[in-house]
């Protein structure tokens, strides 16, 4: 038996924030990040709409990018005091993911972070509150997914929490919120969405319910991402839907080792001054992982379908896989994303010498490879790498060398 779960309601299109006016509840806790939602007036609209619905509203502000366990614990404490029956999270993946984890801790005050990390082991929620997610970036699709990614800063590791319990009750996908994204964010979140769709399509857990969502998302992202990056607002609006479709696919089909590697490298070099931003990490690793996975015949056949749906040409499966890899690398170039860690600058742009020194990378490689294999996303990848293969793969991602194993 398999399960396919999505939010009960999804409101999309311009003006979708209005739906908050008809919410039924007493107290809403609004969780938000560092200021962009306030600056552009979206937070005021959310608060006003919830008040119009007759609710008392309290804010939990300042959730940082790549939210930490500490922030989750602080948010849960604030919820324990305020006793909301609605949790409304607005912003990018970071505040929404943090709010999801706060929600678990609010419902189960004694649960530890380690217990929350047990894949598909979260106890039933909704005893105290329901959850509404309003996304302002076009990538993570956390407004429709069963996932939340929380960083343990002490360990420098990102932990994905995974359970359909944390799939939101209501998702609001209003493209107006995505229009204020700076270019770099458009690029990173857009390639995150492309990675979600491709990994979901080749995942061992894919099915007839997830495939059409993944393929349609891939075609939309191929058509609209670069234009959105270059300022076409119609394409920007389309991307907000495309990333959400990709999210519906991967929330139910799961992901693969591109994400395992991104999770375990993201914060691994933060002592050298930067994170490897999630979407940029995915964009760099995806072409390498496709070359690795394509050694598996079933995965190769799935990549062929993707290449055909994208109308990339090619006379046989090998050529089609190569054309897919070349196309994705071309997208990285068009979006000013480096092709490898060695050329990933602290500002995330391509440069000659990236912020991760070679000797540091090599010294940490065995541990990172081990953590990546142990990541929750590895199990549904079509080819399970050994420790040696994962180390080789990560090296290809550092030096931008060909994957021939
Ligand atoms: N839950 C999931 O299923 C899932 C999937 C992929 C990634 N993630 C996680 O999500 C996080 C990344 O989320 P993200 O990429 O959405 O970025 P983010 O939430 O970290 O936001 C990045 C920055 O963009 C700003 N911002 C957000 N929306 C804006 C807008 N409309 N206009 C202007 N500025 C805006 C924020 O203030 C912040 O400074 C990572 O922690 C990643 O691991 C989660
Ligand atoms: Zn992702």
- The 10s digit of each residue's pLDDT in 310-342 is 999 999 999 999 999 999 999 999 999 999 999
pLDDT tops 90 at residue 156: no
What is the Å distance from ligand 1's center to 92 Cα? 4
* Domains, the chain: 9-178 (3.40.50.1970), 181-399 (1.20.1090.10)
Which pLDDT belongs to residue 343?
98
Q: Which residue has the tokens 């929330």?
A: 251
Mean pLDDT of 224-236: 98
pLDDT band for position 154 (cuts 50, 70, 90): confident
Q: Residue 29: left (phi > 0), alpha (psi -120 to 50), or beta?
A: beta
Residue 278 parent element (H or E): helix 278-293
CA of 99 to the centre of ligand 1 (A): 13
Give pLDDT, residue 358: 98
Asked if residue 237 has pLDDT above 90, the reply is: yes
Measure CA 140 to chain center: 3
pLDDT at 17 > cutoff 90:
yes
Band of pLDDT at residue 257, cut at 50, 70 and 90: very high
Ligand 2 centroid, distance to 139 Cα (angstroms): 7
Mean pLDDT of the chain, nearest integer: 97
Q: In whole angstroms, what is the distance from residue 296 CA to residue 190 CA?
A: 27
User: If you measure from the C-alpha of residue 142 to the centroid of ligand 1, how many angstroms do you get, rounded to a whole number?
Assistant: 9
Question: Terminal CA-to-CA distance of the chain, rounded, Å?
Answer: 34
What is 158-217 written as a DSSP string? EEEEE-GGGS-SEEEE-GGGGGG--HHHHHHHHHHHHHHHHHHHHSTT--TTTHHHHHHH
Q: Ligand 1: which atom is nearest the Cα of residue 148?
A: 1
Edge-to-edge strand order for the sheet containing 170-173?
Answer: 9-12, 170-173, 130-135, 86-91, 27-32, 56-60
Mutate to test the pocket of ligand 1, among 45, 94, 136, 236 (most ligand atoms within 8 A of CB): 94
Over range 98-110, report the average pLDDT: 98
The confidence score (pLDDT) of residue 155 equals 82
Per-residue pLDDT, 357: 97
Measured from the Cβ of residue 398, the count of other Cβ atoms closer than 10 Å reads 20
Atom of ligand 1 nearest to the CA of 42: 31
pLDDT digits (tens, 9 = 90+) for 26-75: 999 999 998 999 999 999 999 999 999 999 999 999 999 989 999 999 99
Q: Per-residue pLDDT for 157 more than 90?
A: no
Whether residue 159 is predicted with pLDDT greater than 90 in this model: the reply is no
Ligand 1 pocket test, candidate residues 32, 43, 45, 65, most atoms within 8 A of CB:
65
pLDDT over 90 (residue 158): no
Quickly count: other Cβ atoms within 10 Å of residue 1's Cβ: 2
Nearest ligand atom owner, CA of 142:
1
| pLDDT tens readout for residues 364-376 | 999 999 999 999 8
Average the pLDDT over 182-190 and give the result: 98
Closest ligand, as measured to the CA of 151: 1
Name the residue at shortest CA distance from atom 43 of ligand 1.
149
Chain segment 351-362, per-residue pLDDT in tens: 999 999 999 999
Percentage of the residues of the chain whose pLDDT score is greater than 90: 96
CB 374 within 8 A of CB 157: no
User: Atom 38 in ligand 1: which residue has the minimum CA distance?
Assistant: 65
203 vs 154 pLDDT, higher one: 203
User: Pocket around ligand 1: residues whose beta carbon is below 6 Å from it?
Assistant: 33-34, 36, 65-66, 91-94, 97, 136-137, 139-140, 142, 145, 147-149, 158, 177-178, 180-182, 185, 189, 192, 278-279
pLDDT bracket for residue 220 (50, 70, 90): very high
């Amino acid at each position: 038996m398999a399960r396919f779960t999505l939010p009960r309601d999804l409101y999309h299109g311009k003006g979708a924030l209005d739906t908050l006016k008809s919410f039924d509840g007493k107290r809403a806790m609004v969780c938000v990040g560092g200021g962009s939602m306030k600056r552009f007036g979206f937070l005021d609209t959310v608060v006003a709409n919830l008040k119009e619905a007759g609710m008392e509203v309290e804010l939990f502000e300042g959730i940082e990018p790549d939210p930490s366990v500490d922030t989750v614990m602080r948010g849960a404490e604030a919820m324990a005091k305020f006793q909301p029956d609605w949790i409304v999270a607005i912003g990018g993946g970071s505040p929404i993911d943090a709010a999801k984890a706060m929600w678990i801790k609010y419902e189960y005050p004694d649960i530890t972070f380690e217990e929350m990390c047990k894949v598909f082991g979260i106890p039933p929620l909704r005893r105290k509150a329901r959850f509404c997610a309003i996304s302002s970036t076009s990538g993570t699709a956390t407004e429709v997914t069963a996932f939340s990614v929380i960083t343990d800063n002490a360990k420098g590791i990102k932990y994905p929490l995974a359970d359909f319990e944390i799939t939101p009750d209501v998702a609001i996908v209003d493209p107006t919120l995505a229009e204020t994204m700076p270019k770099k964010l458009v690029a990173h979140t857009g390639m995150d969405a492309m990675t979600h769709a491709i990994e979901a399509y080749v995942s061992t857990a894919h099915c007839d319910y997830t495939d059409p969502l993944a393929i349609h998302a891939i075609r939309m992202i191929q058509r609209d991402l670069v234009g959105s990056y270059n300022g076409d607002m119609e394409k920007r609006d389309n991307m907000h839907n495309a990333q959400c479709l990709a999210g519906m696919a991967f929330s139910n089909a799961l992901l693969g080792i591109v994400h395992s590697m991104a999770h375990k490298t993201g914060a691994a070099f933060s002592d050298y001054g930067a994170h490897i931003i999630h979407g940029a990490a995915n964009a760099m690793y995806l072409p390498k992982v496709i070359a690795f996975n394509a050694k598996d015949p079933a995965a190769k056949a799935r990549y062929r379908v993707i290449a055909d749906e994208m109308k990339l040409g090619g006379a046989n499966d090998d050529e089609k896989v190569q054309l897919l890899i070349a196309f994705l690398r071309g997208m990285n170039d068009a979006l000013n994303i480096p092709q490898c860690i060695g050329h990933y600058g602290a500002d995330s742009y391509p440069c000659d010498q990236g912020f991760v020194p070679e000797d540091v990378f090599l010294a940490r490689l065995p541990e990172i490879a081990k953590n990546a294999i142990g990541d929750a996303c590895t199990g549904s990848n079509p080819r399970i790498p050994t420790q040696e293969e994962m180390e080789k793969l990560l090296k290809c991602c550092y030096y931008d060398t060909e994957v021939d194993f």
